[in-house]
Chains A and B, each alone.
Chain A
Amino acid sequence: MTDERFNELAAGFLLGDLDGAEAAELERELARRGGRGETDLRELRDVLGALALAIPPANPSPELKRRVMTAIGAASPTKGAPVATGSSVDSSILPLRRRPLWPLALVGGMAAALALWLGIANSDLRRENERLAAELASARERLAAADTARARLADLQGDLEVVAGPASSVHTLTGTGTQPDSGARARVFLDPATGRAILFAYDLPILPPDTVYELWAISGGTPRAAGVFRPDEGGRARLEVSDASLLVDLEVLAVTVEPAPGTDQPTSEPVLISTS
């Protein structure tokens, strides 16, 4: 996988915008790249974190902190917090005549029991909170998987519109014999209604890592680069042509093998060429 493709997948992943196939592709590439891939991913995550700093800070209301601290069950800090003692009580409010102590002891005992009960209740609440948080996280994962499936379906529907559009045209490309006879072939669909063009290729030989397949739109004898692609392990590839206008008034389409990440002009003989 080229660094460009890896970075594209990493960006999509960090922005929450990968479909299932892309996520699997990124996962495989991360496993292949090892620590270097993880480092690259971490650096891109930190870039996005830094991006948040482009927005000037703004103070939320003081109420928000109170609500947050209450929500986490810590209206006041728990560790190292100063402990209230009798010395902090204003002696001027003490009665002159000494009262019997047993009611205080009783109240103290009740308070201790209440505190114990509250402690248990708080602990139960915290466990319940954690259980609900885990359920929420699980639900979010299921929703994310459903989003991924929907996005994949939307992609396929988009492709189908190009392939099956009422005004769509198709160019078929076959092997030129410059590569071993693998049965490689491709079709390029152009839908003038949406202005989209997509190449689907099959049984392409796998390339060395530093090369790519490049599609050329040739008209007036001049080849114009229409995009690069690499096949998956099954020899299949899909390319959305970035500028479908290249395919208007076309003489011929060709695919060559070029050094990654692609070239402005073909440097090798075509391996696929259009026959219709």
Chain B
Amino acid sequence: MPPPFELEPLLKRVADRDSRAFSELYDRTSPYVFGLLRRMLATIERAEEVAQEVYVQVWQSAAGFDPDRGSGWSWLAMMARSRAVDRMRADGSYRGALDGLLSETGATTTGNPGEGPERATERSERGELVRRAMAGLPAEQRDALAMAFFGGYSHREIAERTEIPLGTVKTRIRTAMIKLKATLGPVMGG
């Protein structure tokens, strides 16, 4: 699956301590990172605190990014998710509101000043494709994956909350990811 954001050249320059490249990386990605964190965390303030931690970590660890292990965007998104889950666990029981995830529309979003209209349209389309792919999953698979990814729940926590056997939860998450891979693979190119 080719990388969706082509961040790799920028990350290489950031690894060389190029703050101009870092600034560009921030402009291009922060709306997506912040959107994710805002959704996962309770308040705007927490989302911004974690976003700051994420980007400082990017600056400090860009040299450790390995393109053979995934795209630059995946590296950044997974880092942001991991930080958000850490914060959720530290702060208590709040988990990102999952209701309405699939019905979200562009009405609540803002443009990204760091990119041109063509790229913005392209990314908006990608977001829509991902939402459609999620919507195409059976509800029980979609819910399990959303609880794990956006809610930061462990498989066991999902099993307890939904009163579904642990093995079934694992199967649902695994199956959802394989289906998404098949659906999104051909359209995720740079």
Contact = CB atoms under 8 A, between A and B. Distances in A.
Interface of A: 4, 7-8, 11-12, 14-17, 38, 41-61, 64-65, 67-69, 71-72, 74, 76-81, 129-130, 133, 151, 154-155, 196, 227, 240-244
Given A50-B188, A51-B130, A59-B34, A74 B174 contact: no
Interface of A is mostly: helix
B170 A8 contact: yes
B184 A11 contact: no
Q: Which 9 A-B pairs have the closest CB atoms?
A: A49-B74, A74-B19, A57-B31, A77-B20, A52-B77, A56-B109, A45-B70, A60-B34, A58-B35
Nearest to B110: A59
A60 B56 contact: no
Given A38-B68, A48-B74, A72 B174 contact: no
A67 B78 CA distance: 22
A81 B21 CA distance: 11
29 contacts: A11-B173, A12-B155, A15-B148, A41-B69, A47-B184, A48-B77, A48-B177, A49-B70, A50-B184, A53-B126, A53-B127, A54-B130, A54-B131, A56-B104, A56-B127, A57-B127, A58-B109, A59-B30, A59-B31, A59-B34, A60-B51, A64-B48, A65-B23, A74-B22, A77-B20, A78-B19, A81-B20, A133-B61, A242-B167
A53 B32 contact: yes
B139 interface: no
B36 A43 contact: no
Contacts of A59: 30-31, 34, 110-113
Given A12-B170, A51-B130, A53-B127, A77 B23 contact: yes
Contacts of A7: 174, 177-178
B84 to A, nearest CB: 10
B62 to A, nearest CB: 11
B170 A58 contact: no
Contacts of B155: 12, 15, 17
A177 to B, nearest CB: 30
A165 to B, nearest CB: 16
Nearest to A133: B60
